[in-house]
Amino acid sequence: MELNDNTLESTIKENRVVLVDFWAEWCGPCRMLTPTIEELENDFADKAIIGKVNVTDNAEASSQHQVRSIPTIIIYKEGVEVERIVGLREKSFYKDKINYYLN
């Protein structure tokens, strides 16, 4: 799910668990992470929101959430940031984190 300056906050507040990938098209590691994010979105379609924020196009959201390097993954539970992951990890790492916060 593409999120932006206008939709990010409401998405975080209105959903129990939200994973947001802050990325940019020019970022090689971000592009490598894209298939994993898409798979997670399918895997958790009815359980959690998996979204992406393009930092180039959404500087306000990036600044508000203090994203300093990319890719940065932030997991929110019930509207609050509970975990921040900078850099690439295996799909299973993200999957385990989402499952943890869903329980």
| Residues with a known catalytic role | 27, 30
Q: Which of 102, 84, 100 is nearest to 17 (CA)?
A: 102
Rg (CA), the chain: 12
